[in-house]
Amino acid sequence: MTEFFHMGGYAFFVWTSYAVVAVLFTYQFLSSRSQHKKLIRQLGAEVEHKIRRSNKS
């Protein structure tokens, strides 16, 4: 197991590359999903606001 993490002495280069890719890919994926949720909420509020305003007038 330690041998696996050691990567034949190239641990820094191998694990940094994999970490950069993993972090960016995960962040990108999660952020676009949460942006979608936020948009739905925001647009829903806008529509409701409009309906309420048109009901008043």
Partner 1 sequence: MTTESLNSSSRGKKWLWFHRFGSPAWVYGFASRWAMPIGVVALLLFVVGLYQGLVVAPPDYQMGDSYRIIFIHVPSAWLSMFSYFVMAVSAGIGLVWHIKVSDLVARSVAPLGAMFTFCALVTGSLWGKPTWGTYWVWDARLTSELVLLFLFIGYIALSNAIEDRRTASRASAVLALVGLINLPIIHFSVEWWNTLHQGATVTKLGRPSIDTRMLIPLLIMFFAFNFYFLSAMLYRLRCELLSQERRTQWVREIVND
Q: Which is nearer to partner 1, 16 or 57 (CB)?
A: 16
Query: What residues between 1 and 57 interact with partner 1 by CB under 8 A?
Result: 4, 7-10, 13-14, 16-18, 20-21, 24-25, 28-29, 32-33, 35-36, 39-40, 43-44, 46-47
Q: What are phi and psi of 10, to 5 degrees?
A: -105, 20
Residue 41: both structure tokens together:
């909420």
Measured from the Cβ of residue 15, the count of other Cβ atoms closer than 10 Å reads 13
Instruction: Give the dihedral sign, CA 5/8/11/15.
Output: negative
Would you tell me which residues interact with partner 1 (CB under 8 A)?
4, 7-10, 13-14, 16-18, 20-21, 24-25, 28-29, 32-33, 35-36, 39-40, 43-44, 46-47
